[in-house]
């Protein structure tokens, strides 16, 4: 073969052919690989987006449940210091519980309706941080951590009365819990709004619930 | 080349041709290499098609389940939904059972839900001012009239053996007294008029414009627990409307809509904001395969309001060929069982159903002692599990049997051949891949 090639081709003139052909193939294969990569990058991004929004949803739901538990817990605890602090401006010791709403409260409105993350200062809300759960970038599980600690805000919506009940007097029936007596007692409704980011601020989700409890603040 | 070869032939007397052996070896090697290459190419190409179909199927399934999920999470939604004590609980052997809350309806004509007008419950006294709208109407597994009949061979038909789910919920934030958008005047304990002035500032959070037309139903709620639905006549512009109860269309001519209670009072346009959403599977004819026709099962979301106009039917995702729902209905003893829609209806007995909303148990409103309503267990659905079976839409005849294997409701299936029919739907199996997608949604608005 060597003999044939050397006699058949003019050495030095056509040597580059292999290089050229292989370069062409290299370019083709690179293009193919790039296309495949971009498709899978898109898929990766979509998966990341879903993951992010799921994280945000779970953050918001957890915070909501935590705040509900907090109210429930306080409503069954001893009176006195174990109170929920509600005021027209968000509570004396920053329980972020608003009461007696009259007129437009831009803080609450913003917190309940904003589509973006409001940051931690001036949103009128409270961070949901407990001793057992830690959120935020410092968490050890980097892939499952939230960008910021979720925040929540409560509104005291006043008395709950059963349908067709008079607007004064005792409210609805309540189950016996622990040493607390059952029976008709005046219950109050609280609206809790929780907001959470996902792994980054690209995903923000809010959850809201009305929670009825014995009044921890009254 | 000619010249080159010519030179070569001329000048090289020692030049040799190929021997037969050389040629044979070269051809054999060439064939071997070619066959190898073709095999590799074919495998890569087939694999690529399979991968593409898989990822499309994954994407379709994810999207379908997300859409269903989002609507299910809102099912039942009214504004005074509460959790916690809810003020209305009864103890069951397996946990507390929340009583439902029924809005009061003052309209003579009933509630014109697109899937069936709801009127006063049996035995309700005609002399009262209003009747309670049972929460059982807010979620349903029956096929509404606007969904076509089932057939596996007709374009536009519903896929046989597939479930249908219909839910109703408030699709609006409404107008709130906390933002001074809603003010009302009462005479004694009864409502005279409501003024709605939608918020325009701050601009980012402005409310929808006031959109009441004469005869629309208004829903007025307060956080102290009352909800009234009544027809209104509207005066004013979209910037501010004054609503007056439309006495001519109300049960009691004395205009007895209850004055809303304390706390936050919210107003909704019940005719346009309380929407009805139905998910069902439709057979859509494949435009590329006409003889014999091929049908692509497609997930459709139908949205309607209570005004009778403006239905939106959206074909969401192709290739959803089976859809089934299991309802987690809470029994009177607190136990939650996951059953089919038919079982929720047949299990609706006095022994199983949790106690009705308080207004149902008030003997003053009934001519006879009220019995449990038909289908009463529907008001106790606490969670819904959706199963959908998504296929890869187009036939891929290179697929092996094991690639066509799929799992549905914990059972393994492999279609016998491309012309076999699928279980319960009767659709032609074709040669495609199938995957099941599941979602379990807690209906947090359950206690409405």
Q: Tell the residue number behind the tokens 């409260």, with chain if given.
A: A105
Of B327 and A169, which is predicted with more confidence?
Answer: B327
Residue B262 contacts residue B222 (beta carbons within 8 Å): yes
Of B22 and A183, more confident: B22
Whether B32 contacts B385, CB under 8 Å = no
Length of chain B: 448
**Residue B145 in tokens:** 């009239």
End-to-end CA distance of chain B: 89
Q: Angle at the Cα of A199 (from A193 to A200), degrees rounded to 5?
A: 85
Contact A213 B91 (CB under 8 A): no
Q: Does position B325 have pLDDT exceeding 50, yes or no?
A: yes
pLDDT beyond 70 at B43:
yes
Touching check for A58 and chain B: CB below 8 Å?
no
Question: Measuring CA to CA, how many Å separate B393 from each of A86, B59, B60, B327, B396?
Answer: 57, 13, 10, 29, 9
Segment B213-248, tens digit of pLDDT? 999 999 998 887 788 999 999 999 999 999 999 988
Q: Which of A43, A110, A172 sits opposite B87 (nearest CB)?
A: A172
Cis, bond preceding B202 (omega within 30 deg of 0) = yes
% helix / strand / coil in chain A, to the nearest 5?
Answer: 35, 20, 45
CB atoms within 10 A of CB B343: 16
Q: Do A175 and B80 touch (CB under 8 A)?
A: no
The per-residue pLDDT for A209 is 86
CB-based contact A175 B85, cutoff 8 Å: yes
Residues B216, B232: contact at Cβ < 8 Å?
yes
Average pLDDT, chain B: 87
CA dist., res. B428 & res. B420, Å (int) = 6
Asked if B8's CB is within 8 angstroms of A162's CB, the reply is no
Of A121, A123, A151, A124, residue with least CA distance to A135: A151
Mean pLDDT of A191-201: 90
Number of CB atoms found within 10 A of residue B313's CB:
14
Q: In this complex, do A163 and B102 lie within 8 Å of one another by their Cβ atoms?
A: yes
Q: What is the DSSP string of A143-203?
A: GG--SS--EEEEEEEEEE--TT--SSS---EE--BTTB--EE--EEEEEEEEEEE-SSTT-
Nearest to A174 among B85, B179, B199 (CB): B85
Which chain A residue shows the shortest CA-CA distance from B80? Answer: A210
d(CA A196, CA A147): 9
A18 vs A51: CA distance, rounded Å: 48
Dihedral angle of Cα A165, A170, A171, A175, to the nearest 10 degrees: -130
Residues of B in contact with A209 (CB under 8 A): 81-83, 444
In chain A, % of residues over pLDDT 70: 67
Percent of chain A at pLDDT > 90 equals 11
pLDDT of residue A167: 47
Window 274-313 of B, Cβ < 8 Å to A: none
- Residue B404 reports pLDDT greater than 50: yes
CA separation for the pair A191, A64 (Å, rounded): 10
Rounded to two decimals, what is the model's pTM?
0.85
In tens, the pLDDT along A3-62 reads: 444 444 555 555 668 888 899 999 999 998 898 788 778 888 888 888 898 889 988 988
Q: Which residues of B touch A157 (CB under 8 A)?
A: 223, 263-264
CA distance A174 to A209: 19
Confidence of residue A120 (pLDDT cuts 50, 70, 90): confident
* C-alpha span between B135 and B446 (Å, rounded): 9
d(CA B60, CA A6): 60
Q: How far is A187 from chain B (nearest CA, A)?
A: 7
**DSSP secondary structure, A55-74, as one string:** HHHHHHHHHHHHHHHHHHHH
Strand partners, B337: B329
Q: Is B329 on the interface with A (CB under 8 A)?
A: no
> Which helix (H) or strand (E) segment is A97 a member of?
strand A97-98
Q: What is the mean pLDDT of residues A168-190?
A: 58
Extract the tokens encoding B429: 């199996």
pLDDT of residue A149: 87
| CB environment A150-166: b (16+ within 10 A), e (fewer) | bbbbbbbbbbbbbbbbe
Give A131's contacts (C-beta < 8 A, 6+ positions apart): none
The answer to whether B113 touches B168, Cβ cutoff 8 Å, is yes
Q: Virtual CA dihedral for B36, B39, B41, B46, nearest 10 degrees?
A: -160
Name the strand (E) or helix (H) holding B234. Answer: strand B226-237
Nearest CB neighbour to A212, from listed B86, B173, B226: B86
User: Distance (Å, rounded) from C-alpha B279 to C-alpha B189?
Assistant: 42
Nearest CA in chain A to B99: A162
**pLDDT computed for residue B23 by the predictor:** 92
Kindly indicate the confidence band of residue B184, based on its pLDDT and cuts at 50, 70 and 90: very high
- Please give the radius of gyration of chain A, using alpha carbons only, rounded to the nearest integer: 31
Q: Within 10 A of A99 (CB to CB), how many other CB atoms are there?
A: 21
Distance CA B81, CA A90 (A): 23
Show which of residues 61-120 on chain A sit within 8 Å of chain B, judged by CB atoms. 68, 71-72, 101-106, 108-110, 113-114
pLDDT of the residue at B2: 47
Residues B243-266 have pLDDT tens digits of: 999 988 998 877 688 888 878 899
**Parallel, antiparallel or unpaired: strands B240-245 and B295-304:** unpaired
Q: Show the tokens assigned to B111.
A: 């509630």
pLDDT digits (tens, 9 = 90+) for B296-317: 999 999 999 999 877 889 999 9
Closest to B150 in 3D by CA, of B169, B164, B138: B164
Query: Comparing B126 with B323, which gets the higher pLDDT?
Result: B323
- Say yes or no for a CB contact (<8 Å) between A173 and B87: yes
- For residue range B334-351, what is the model confidence (pLDDT) as tens digits? 888 899 999 999 999 988
User: Nearest by CB to B178, which of A72, A101, A114?
Assistant: A101
Residues of chain A found within 8 Å of residue B264, distances taken between Cβ atoms = 101, 155, 157-158, 191
Question: Which residues have a Cβ under 8 Å from the Cβ of B176 and sit 6 or more positions away?
Answer: B182, B264, B265, B266
Does the ipTM exceed 0.85? no
A29 or B372: which carries more pLDDT confidence? A29
Q: What is the mean pLDDT of residues A61-66?
A: 89
Nearest to B444 among A4, A104, A209 (CB): A209
CA dist., res. B340 & res. B323, Å (int): 12
* Contact assessment for residue B370 and residue B360, using Cβ atoms and an 8 Å cutoff: yes
Q: Which position has the token pair 């005004």?
A: B307
């Amino acid at each position: 073969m060597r003999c044939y090639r050397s006699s058949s081709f003019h050495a030095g003139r056509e040597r580059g052919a292999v290089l050229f052909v292989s370069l062409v193939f290299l370019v083709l294969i690179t293009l193919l690989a790039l296309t495949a990569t971009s498709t899978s990058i898109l898929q990766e991004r979509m998966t990341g987006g879903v993951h992010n929004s799921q994280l945000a949803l779970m953050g918001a739901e957890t915070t909501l449940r935590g705040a509900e538990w907090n109210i429930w817990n306080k409503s069954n605890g001893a009176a006195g210091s174990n109170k929920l602090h509600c005021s027209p401006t968000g509570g004396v010791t920053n329980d972020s519980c608003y009461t007696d709403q009259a007129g437009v409260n831009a803080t609450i409105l913003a917190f309940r309706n904003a589509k973006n993350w409001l940051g931690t200062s001036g949103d009128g809300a409270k961070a949901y941080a407990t001793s057992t759960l830690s959120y935020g970038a410092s968490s050890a599980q980097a892939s499952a951590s939230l960008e910021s600690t979720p925040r929540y805000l409560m509104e005291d919506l006043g008395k709950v009365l059963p349908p067709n009940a008079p607007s004064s007097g005792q409210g609805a029936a309540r189950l016996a819990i622990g040493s607390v007596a059952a029976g008709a007692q005046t219950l109050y409704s609280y609206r809790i709004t929780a907001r959470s980011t996902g792994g980054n601020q690209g995903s923000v989700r809010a959850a809201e619930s009305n929670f009825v409890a014995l009044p921890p603040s009254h | 080349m000619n010249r080159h070869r010519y030179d070569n032939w001329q000048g090289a007397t020692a030049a040799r041709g190929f021997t037969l052996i050389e040629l044979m070896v070269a051809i054999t090697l060439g064939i071997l290499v070619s066959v190898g290459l073709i095999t590799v190419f074919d495998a890569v190409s087939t694999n690529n098609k399979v991968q593409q179909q898989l990822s499309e199927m994954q994407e379709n399934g994810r999207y379908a389940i997300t859409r269903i999920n989002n609507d299910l999470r809102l099912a039942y939604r009214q504004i005074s939904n509460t959790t916690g004590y809810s003020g209305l609980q009864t103890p069951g052997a397996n946990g507390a059972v929340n009583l439902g809350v029924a809005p009061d309806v003052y309209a003579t004509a009933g509630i014109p839900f697109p899937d069936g007008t709801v009127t006063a419950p049996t035995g309700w006294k005609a002399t009262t001012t209003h009747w309670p709208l049972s929460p059982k109407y807010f979620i349903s597994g029956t096929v509404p009239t606007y969904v076509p009949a089932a057939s596996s061979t007709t374009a536009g038909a519903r896929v046989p053996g597939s479930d249908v789910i219909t839910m109703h919920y408030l699709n609006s934030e409404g107008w709130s007294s906390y933002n001074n958008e809603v003010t009302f005047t009462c005479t004694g304990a009864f409502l005279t008029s409501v003024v709605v002035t939608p918020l325009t500032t701050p601009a980012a959070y402005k409310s929808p414009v006031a959109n009441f037309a004469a005869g629309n139903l208004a829903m007025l709620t307060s956080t102290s627990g009352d909800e009234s639905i009544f027809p209104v006549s509207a005066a004013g512009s979209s910037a501010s409307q004054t609503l007056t109860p439309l006495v001519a269309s109300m049960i009691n001519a004395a205009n007895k809509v209850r004055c809303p209670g304390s706390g936050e009072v919210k107003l909704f346009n019940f005719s346009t904001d309380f929407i009805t959403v139905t998910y069902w599977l439709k057979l859509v004819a494949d435009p590329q395969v006409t003889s014999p026709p091929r049908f692509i099962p497609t997930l459709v979301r139908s949205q309607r309001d209570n005004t009778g106009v403006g239905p939106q039917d959206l074909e969401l995702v192709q290739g959803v060929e089976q859809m089934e729902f299991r309802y987690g209905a809470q029994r009177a003893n607190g136990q939650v069982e996951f059953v089919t829609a038919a079982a929720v209806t047949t299990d609706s007995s006095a022994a199983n159903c949790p106690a009705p909303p308080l207004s149902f148990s008030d003997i003053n409103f009934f001519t006879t002692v009220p019995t449990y309503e038909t289908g009463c267990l529907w008001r106790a659905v606490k969670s819904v599990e959706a199963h959908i079976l998504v296929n890869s839409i187009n036939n891929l005849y290179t697929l092996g049997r094991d690639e066509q294997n799929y799992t549905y409701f914990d059972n393994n299936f492999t279609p016998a051949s491309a012309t076999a029919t699928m279980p319960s739907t009767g659709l032609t199996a074709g040669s495609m891949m199938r995957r099941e997608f599941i979602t379990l949604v807690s209906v947090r608005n359950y206690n409405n």
